[in-house]
Each structure stands twice: as C-alpha cells, then as structure tokens.
Chain A
Amino acid sequence: MENQLKNDFEKIVKTSGFSKKDVEIKENFLNKFIASGFPNRNLENWKFSDISQIIKKNIGDLDFYNDYSTPNKIDSSIFVNGLEHNKIVFINGRIEKIEFNYEEDEKIEIIDELEFKNNINQENSLINLNNAFTNKYYKIVIKEGYFLKKPLIIYHTTNKNLKYKNVNLRLDFLLEKNSCLKLVDISNDEAEKNFINILYNFELGKDSILKNYKVDKKENSNVKYSFNNINQDVNSVSETFILSAGSNFIKNEINCNLNGKYSSAFINGIFSLRNKRHHEIRTCINHLIDNTKSYQLIKSVLENDSKSVYQGKIFVDSIAQKTDGYQLSKAILLSENAEFNAKPELEIYADDVKCSHGSASGNLNQDSIFYLMSRGLNYKQSKELLINGFLLDVVEKITDSEVRNLIKNLIGFKE
C-alpha cells in the first residue's frame, strides 16, 4: 500500500499545482498516515469497527488518485423537489457547484483556501489521510448577524466511473457572531466499492446557531467515514442529526468542543439497518467551561445481520462546573443475528455537574404488540407502528420544521 500511496501522491502533486510549502505539509501528513496505516481494532476508538479489515473485505486495494481536471455533468434529478434551497454539489469528490441563489451576496463569503491549514487537533490517521489527499477545499463564512433564508443542501454524489477509489473531501465553515446556518447533507451514490472520507470543520462564533442534518439513505456498497469538528463560542448552539441507513459501512464521528459559556450541543441519531450493514456513531463532547449543556439521543432498529455501534463520550473538565450532560441510546433487535454494541462513556473531573447516561436494547415489547393486535391490527402493522413510533421520537427532535418534513418524507413517515 505504501508504494501505491506514494505514487498516487506524486501524481496529485504534478497535476494540482500546490505551492512548495503545501506539498511539504501534505507530505508530512502522508508520512504520518503511512506510519499508522488504516486504524484497526487495537485502537480503542476502532474496537467495534475495524476499518482496515472492512476496507480489505469490501473493497480490496484502493486507488488514491482522482483526476479532477474535467468537470462532471450534474444530473439535476437528484435535487430535492418542493423545498427551496442553496446548493453545493460534489461529484466523485470534485466540487462542481456552489450556489447561494436565495441569499444576500455580501453576507456569505466563499474563500478558496489556497493555503493549506490544519486546525483540527486530533490524533486520527484518517484525518491525516484526508489532509494529505484533499485536492482543494473551501471555507464558507456566514457574516455577522446573518440568518440564511433557506437551508443549504450539500449533495454528495458519486457516479459509476468511480470504483476502488479513495475520495477525500473537506469543507470549513465559519459562523460569525449571531449568525445561523442550516445544513443538510444528502448522499446519493451510484458508485460501488469506494472509500469516502469526509471532513467538516465548524467554527461557531458567539450566539451563532448551526443545524446539521446528515442523511445517508440510498443503498450503496461504499465504505464511508465522516468527521465533524465543532468549536463553539459563548452561547452558541449546535444541533446534529444523523440518519444512518444506506451505505455498507459508515462511521460518523462528531467532536464537539464547548469552549464558551452557555454553549450547548445536541446530537440525535437513527440507525435503520438491514442486511449486512455495519454502522457506527462516535461522539465526543468536551465540556471545557462552566454552564454548558449537551444532549444525545441515538436509536437503532436492526434487521437481518446488521450491526450498529454507538460510542459516546462526555468529557467534563475540572473547571466546567454546572455542566449538564445527557446520553441515551436505545436499540431494537429484530433478528437473531443483529448486533448492537454501545460504549457510553463519562469522564468527569468537576464535582458540581449533572451527567447521566442510559442504554437499553432488546426486542419489541410483546405486550405492546398484543395490545395493538387485540385492536385489529395484524402483526406486521403493529410492528411497523411500534418501530415508527420509536424512531419518530428522534425525528421530532429536529427543530427546523421544513427539514423535519423533508426527512420524514425521505424516511417514509406519513404526515
């Protein structure tokens, strides 16, 4: 793999026109990645999902070079109907379109990050990989006091030209004081057997609001990794919703640093898995100052041979008094071979805090089924009703009504 990585890196350096300094930084990341390789189960973080094995099994050898010189044709049928929105379109990892038609021009700035920066302080080999191979990335700045009128939808599209490739992409967002961004990620994969590595970095200024909804619904055989790094200033709010259903493997990682007083983070997630899907959500909420709040709710419905993993961590620094942290994970296992793993972790160094977590897993409640069937529903209907109710609880947590309806439609809940 090492030679492959080095050759592909050479190719990219030749075609991309990075500055000498950038190449040096990137090479440094490449070497770090070569030293560690893909993470395996010996790392605590990857204990339940050994990605080096998963890639080996699902994909085999990866090709790290992508030709980004020619634009791809955008197929407009993928766009969401019935909801006015701003768009960013990625096709095979190449950014094809950034369009803010509904917003005031001067309130949004799109910076083409020519100089490479790494401001994520994490020992993570997949981030190193991302840093080494991202071709070009943008920083989107929402100016002070501006609330986006319409949500921004980012389409992650792949087409059939892509196979056995590693795609790395990155976006940075800066929300200035008192601004608001609603962001929906929709993945739309035609391609098969690729490893897609997505990195988002959010800086939230004072009083700003970020709402991020990630939807991975369409069935595909790709392996994905997504990392969100969120830094929050005073009184900012971040809300993350994850629908994890379509890909063969996906691990969503959220690292949230609550740096400012009165800031809060909400993470809600749904796993709805069947066949041999194996999905993971890992969260790390760092309460670094007093009077911060976090809330996490993760629910799984598992069929066939599927497997879901939730690793949630709440870290409370010794100065972070009056912290309020809560975690809840619930799972329904519908098949004998389904598997649910959880590691809800608390690491607490301050004494005046309220932190708790709960986790429960099991089958559907037979009493509830009996209740519904005695009222005339058949078994299948009662089961569906119960599962929908179970998941709807999470969907209802979405605070934006437009997006909530969109996601309800995507999942197939009837209004």
Chain B
Amino acid sequence: MREKELERLKDYKYGFTTDIESIKAPKGLNEEVIKFISNIKKEPTWMLNWRLKAFERLKVLKEPNWQKPKYPKIDYQDLYYYSAPKSTSDKPKNLEDLDPKILETYNKLGIPLQEQKRLNGIAVDAVFDSVSVATTFKDKLTEKGIIFCSISEAIQKHPDLVKKYLGTVIPITDHFFATLNSAVFTDGSFVYIPPDVRCPMELSTYFRINASDTGQFERTLIIADKGSYVSYLEGCTAPMRDENQLHAANVELIALDNAEIKYSTVQNWYPGDKDGKGGIYNFVTKRGLCKGKNSKISWTQVETGSAITWKYPSCILKGDNSIGEFYSIAITNNHQKADTGTKMIHLGKNTKSKIISKGISAGFSDMTYRGLVDVSPKACNSSNYTQCDSLLMGNKCGAHTVPYIKNKNSESNIAHEATTSKISEEQLHYCQQRGLNSEEAVGLIINGFCKEVLQQLPMEFAVEAQKLVGISLEGSVG
C-alpha cells in the first residue's frame, strides 16, 4: 500500500496535499457567494459593487469556444469560490507563528521561507490556497517606498491606487474567464514601485492550489511608476489530484513613462497522469499596458504543466517608443494540451516588439502557438520580429502555428518566421558518439533549442527551469 503511494508520488514530485481545515464559501456562483467573499475579506462597498458589476456582465457572456483544446463542460455552480487556511482569522505575526504543516509543505516544495529569507534575499508573498499567508522582507521594501502586499490588503490600505488602476488593462467586461475572475477573485499580489526606484530584489510569489474543488482565482496588479524598474517571478506547482481544477487568474501590468517591468513565470501545475486523467485547467489572462513613453514590458514564460494551458500574455504598446517582449517555452507531454502565444498591439509611434516562442510536443499532446501582431495606422515606424519554432517528438503529437498579422501602417516592418522539425539524427548521433545516452543527448539538444528563452529568466529561475525542461520530457524519447 505504502509502496503504491510512493510510486504515485514519484511521478509528480510535488504531488501531496496538506491537511489543514479550510473555511469554505458555500458551493456555487451567485451574488450571495460574492458578498460572502467580499465580506470575509472586509472589503469596502466600492469593491463589492465592482465585483457585482462584473457578475452582471458574466451572466450575458458565453464561454469562448474557438480555441483548439476542448475540455469537458465545467459546472460553475459545483465549485467552491473561496477557501482559506483556518489560521488566517488571526494572522501570525512572524514566520515562527505559522502553522507548522504549511511550513512543511513549502519545505517539500523547495521554498523554505526561513531559508529563503536568510539566503536568497527574495521577498516571498506566498499564496497558499487563495490567501497570503506570509510576507517577508517587508522592511527593506518599505524603506524604498515599494508596496508589495496581497491585493486584499492593498484594497484596504491603498484604495486610491487600486481604484485608479484595477481593471484598466483587463476591463471587467473583457471575456468570460477574465470577467469570472473579476467577480470572484480571492487574492493575489499587488506591487507598486514609486517613481525613479529600482526594486532592489526580485519579487516572487509561489502559488499553490490546495483544498479540493476550489478553482483558484488570483488577481495580480503591478504598477511601475515613472522611471522605475521591477522584476517579478511567478512559479506554480500543484498537488496531485484526479479531478480537473480550474485556474483563471488575471494579471495586469502597468508601466508608466520610462518604467520597465519584467514578468517571469514557471508554470508546473499538475498535468494529469499518463492517460490524461485529471490535471489543471490553466485559463489565465495576462496583459500589460505600456502606458507611458519609453516604457517596456517583458514576459518570459516556461510552461510545462497543466492539462490544458490557454494563455496569451499580451502587451498594449500605447506610449511612444515603448517596447514589448515575449519569450516562451511550452512543453507538452502525454495528453497535455497547450494553446499559448501573445498579442502585441502597437498603438504608439516607434514601438517595438519581439516574440520568441519555442514549442516542444511529445507523447499524445498538442501544442499551438497563437499570436497576434497588430500595427495600427498611427503606430508609425514601429517594428515587430516574430520567431516561433516547434519541435515534434513522435507522430502521435501535434504542433501548430497560428499567427495573425495585421499591418495598417506603411512605415512599419513586420517579420515573421516559423519552423517545425524534429531533432536531427545527426545531432543525436554526434552527442551519442561522445558518450551521452540518448536521453541525455535529447536533453542537451532541447536545452540548446530553448536557450534563447532560458537566458531571459533570472538566475534562480533559470536553474529550476532547465531542470523542469528535462523532467517534463522524461520517458518520451526512444
């Protein structure tokens, strides 16, 4: 019995559930639940009204159906929209007061808070099942005037900032999942970097889905004021579970004049077992607005997990001379499906964007790059370069490229390139000749294939990501 359990765990390194009693909102999606969430988070009335307005809109919206990966119908009335570790009601003052079980979970995950606090110099706002449990390194950040806290805290302490920016990039009337998130979001991170401040450390959040049947609805809002810089890391792992879970987060980035935001993600939610049973539905809306002149937003993502990934981190290049970048690695194995890409919307003059996408599919999986480059008539002298390469391993999987290119400005240049191929026999032969076995050889070649993107990740992530790339493709060769 025990051995069996271990066998299961071996497949998915992070597959374990922590046993903590949770406070749950009643099942279902209705005004009462939204009021419950708002009430339990002690939100002001304007916030509740904002949620209810989104909910009104949600009633008329339909789930999108144009995407390639199809999924069984989700019963939105059969989900819990709120669950929090019980100990939240009297929040611990410091790390030592934390529920030891939570600490243990983080240890298994490889992010011991205590260790991290001392060694890494990364402030961690750990989201454990929808509510921020601990936030570290506050002092150092407060010194510089940086606000890094949970969004519910920000709603109470910095209502002006939240009111001004929340929903300006992803309006509450956007699409189904974004609107759903606006109505029922439970927690997430809030970052504000004051003018001319360079954030001294990488900000990072680890998301975890824990209690059974709770879709996680995170909301992240990052504002970089004039001349500031911030690098934000997001990493995800989720426990093993058989039911499909929904994850519909919203991430909004706003860069004002001369500001720069770098947003990196490593996504490794539970992808389902070998037969495609279980796994997370990752339907995320991420959008950045380069609002000011000379601003820059850069997205980097490594997507290896989730049964279905469906996300398009986008940049709206509104300010003149603004820059948008998108670097992505998507790896699918077994029965995973990923439909991911970006949108670069050029509105300002001299705007530039760059898209590098690397897709690898193996097993029975499907990988789609879907992107839009839209140059509006006013975006004079703007340019885009897109490169998307796909690698196929085996003939049971698929790799697709669906770029949309719209050029409405004669002074702009758009270039797009895409290739699809398999690992060349020559390269394999060369590596094997020098003593690597076939799996190591493939790992080496894949890492080379992805190098352009991996380079963009901050140090801490790059190492982890490189390992992930190898782990994700284990057993798919030969």
Assembled-state Cα–Cα distance A351/B395 (Å): 5
Residues on B with C-beta less than 8 A from A333 are: 407, 409-410
Task: Verify B407–A341 contact, CB threshold 8 A.
Answer: yes
Collect the chain A residues with CB atoms within 8 Å of residue B394's CB. 351
CB contacts (< 8 Å) of A403 on chain B: these are: none
Q: A271 interface residue, CB < 8 Å from B?
A: no
Q: Which residue of A lies closest to B372 (CB)?
A: A343
- Measured in the bound complex, the distance between the Cα atoms of B414 and A339 in whole Å is 12
* B417 / chain A contacts, CB cutoff of 8 Å: 356-358
Chain A residue at smallest Cβ distance from B366: A349
Contacts of B410 in A (CB 8 A): 333-336, 338, 362-363
Residue of A nearest to B375 (CB): A361
Evaluate contact between B422 and A44: CB separation under 8 angstroms.
no
Complex Cα–Cα for A351 and B392 (A): 5
How close is A387's CB to chain B, nearest CB, in angstroms?
A: 14
**Which residue of chain B has the shortest Cβ distance to A354 in the bound complex?**
B421
Point out the residues of chain B lying under 8 angstroms from A7, CB to CB. none
- The answer for the CA separation of A340 and B398 in the assembled complex, in Å, is 29
Contact between A356 and B420, CB atoms less than 8 A apart: yes
Is A53 in the interface zone, CB < 8 Å from B? Answer: no
Q: Take A318-B396, A353-B420, A356-B418 as given contacts and tell me if A344 and B403 are in contact as well, using a CB distance cutoff of 8 Å.
A: yes
Which residues does chain B contribute within 8 Å of A346, judged by CB atoms?
A: 390, 399-402, 418, 420
Q: State which of A351, A360, A363 has its C-beta within 8 Å of the C-beta of B416.
A: A360
- Which residues on the A side are within 8 Å of B412 (C-beta)? 361-362
Q: Is the CB of B45 closer than 8 A to any CB of chain A?
A: no
Q: Which of A319-353 contact B (CB under 8 A)?
A: 319, 321, 331, 333-353
B433 within 8 A of A: no
Structural contact, B416 and A348, CB atoms closer than 8 A: no
Q: Does A355 contact B (CB under 8 A)?
A: yes
Beta-carbon nearest neighbor of B392 in chain A: A351
Q: How far is the CA of A342 from the CA of B392 in the complex (A)?
A: 25
Q: In the assembled complex, which residues on chain A have CB atoms less than 8 Å from the CB atom of B377?
A: 336-337
Partner of B419, one of A331, A335, A355: A355
CB distance from B384 to the nearest CB of A (A): 10
> In whole angstroms, what is the CA distance A360 to B384 when docked?
10
Contacts of B420 in A (CB 8 A): 346, 348, 353-356
Interface check A359, CB cutoff 8 A: yes
Residues of A within 8 A of B277 (CB): none
Compute how far the CA of A334 lies from the CA of B410 in the bound complex, rounded to whole angstroms.
Answer: 6
CA distance A46 to B420 in the complex (A): 26
User: In the complex, are the beta carbons of B403 and A361 less than 8 A apart?
Assistant: no
Give Cα A351–Cα B477 distance, bound, in whole angstroms.
13
Is B474 in the interface zone, CB < 8 Å from A? no
B393 located at the interface, meaning its Cβ lies under 8 Å from any Cβ of chain A in the complex: yes
Residue from A318, A321, A333, A351 having most chain B Cβ neighbours under 10 A:
A351
Contact B392 A343 (CB under 8 A): no
B402: chain A residues at CB < 8 Å are: 343, 345-346
Query: Nearest chain B CB to A286's CB is how many angstroms away?
Result: 14
Please give, as numbers and ranges, the residues of chain A lying within 8 Å of B76 by CB-CB distance. none
Closest CB in chain A relative to B13 CB, distance in Å: 28
User: Hey, which chain A residues are within 8 Å of B390, CB to CB?
Assistant: 346, 348
Q: How far is the CA of A341 from the CA of B397 in the complex (A)?
A: 29
Q: Which B residues lie within 8 Å of A349 (CB)?
A: 395, 397-398
Residue-wise interface mask of B (365-398) relative to A, using a CB-CB cutoff of 8 A (1 in contact, 0 not) = 0000000000001000000000000101111111
Contacts A339-B406, A345-B400 given: A351-B393 contact, CB under 8 Å? yes
For B367, give the chain A residue with the smallest CB separation.
Answer: A348
How far apart are the CA atoms of A340 and B396 in the complex, in Å?
35
A76 to chain B, nearest CB (A): 43
CA distance A250 to B419 in the complex (A): 30
| Interchain CB contact (< 8 A) of B399 among A338, A341, A348 | A348
User: A337 contacts which chain B residues (CB < 8 A)?
Assistant: 377, 408
Shortest Cβ distance from residue B125 to the other chain A in the assembled complex, whole angstroms: 40
In the complex the two chains form, what is the Cα distance from A339 to B379 in whole Å? 13
Judge whether B404 and A359 touch: CB under 8 Å. Answer: no
User: Residue of B at shortest CB range from A362?
Assistant: B413
Closest to A317 in B: B395
Q: What's the minimum C-beta distance from B403 to chain A, rounded to whole angstroms?
A: 6
Q: Which residues on the B side are within 8 Å of A363 (C-beta)?
A: 410-411, 413
Q: Could you give, for residues 349-381 of chain A, a 1 whenever the CB lies within 8 Å of some chain B CB and a 0 otherwise?
A: 111111111111111000000000000000000
Residue B405 at the chain A interface, CB threshold 8 Å: yes
B415 within 8 A of A: yes
Check A342–B405 contact: CB distance below 8 A: yes
Q: How far is the CB of B67 from chain A (nearest CB, A)?
A: 11
Which of B392, B407, B419, B421 interacts with A361 by CB under 8 Å?
B407
Smallest CB–CB gap between A256 and chain B, Å? 19
Give Cα distance in the complex from A3 to B379, angstroms: 47
**A272 CB, min distance to chain B CBs, angstroms:** 16
Give B65-122 interface residues, CB cut-off 8 Å to A: 66
Docked-complex contact A348 and B408, CB < 8 angstroms:
no
Report how far A337 CA is from B394 CA in the complex, Å.
46
Type the 1/0 row for B28-45, where 1 means its CB is closer than 8 Å to any CB of A: 000000000000000000
Contact between A361 and B400 (Cβ–Cβ < 8 Å)? Answer: no
Q: List residues of chain A with CB within 8 A of the CB of B413.
A: 360-363
Q: Mark B432-460, 1 if CB is under 8 A from A, else 0.
A: 00000000000000000000000000000
Tell me how far the C-beta of B356 lies from the nearest C-beta in chain A, rounded to whole angstroms.
Answer: 15
The answer to whether B416 and A358 have CB atoms under 8 Å apart is yes
CB distance from A336 to the nearest CB of B (A): 6
Q: A341-B406, A345-B401, A353-B420 are in contact. Are A359 and B392 (CB under 8 A)?
A: no
Task: Decide if B414 touches A348 in the complex (CB within 8 Å).
Answer: no
Residues of A within 8 A of B419 (CB): 355-356
Q: Is the CB of B66 within 8 A of A361?
A: no
Q: Considering the chains assembled together, what is the distance between the CA atoms of A319 and B394 in angstroms?
A: 11
Whole-angstrom CA separation of A160 from B186 in the bound complex: 68
B398 touches A362 (CB 8 A): no
User: Contact between A318 and B400 (Cβ–Cβ < 8 Å)?
Assistant: no
User: CB within 8 A of B400: which of A338, A341, A348, A353?
Assistant: A348
Contacts of B398 in A (CB 8 A): 318, 347-349
Closest to A334 in B: B410
21 contacts between A and B (CB under 8 A): A318-B396, A321-B395, A333-B407, A336-B409, A338-B408, A340-B405, A342-B404, A343-B403, A346-B418, A348-B392, A348-B399, A349-B395, A350-B392, A351-B392, A351-B397, A351-B422, A352-B422, A353-B392, A357-B417, A357-B418, A362-B410
Q: Which 5 A-B pairs have the closest CB atoms?
A: A333-B410, A362-B413, A351-B392, A359-B416, A346-B401
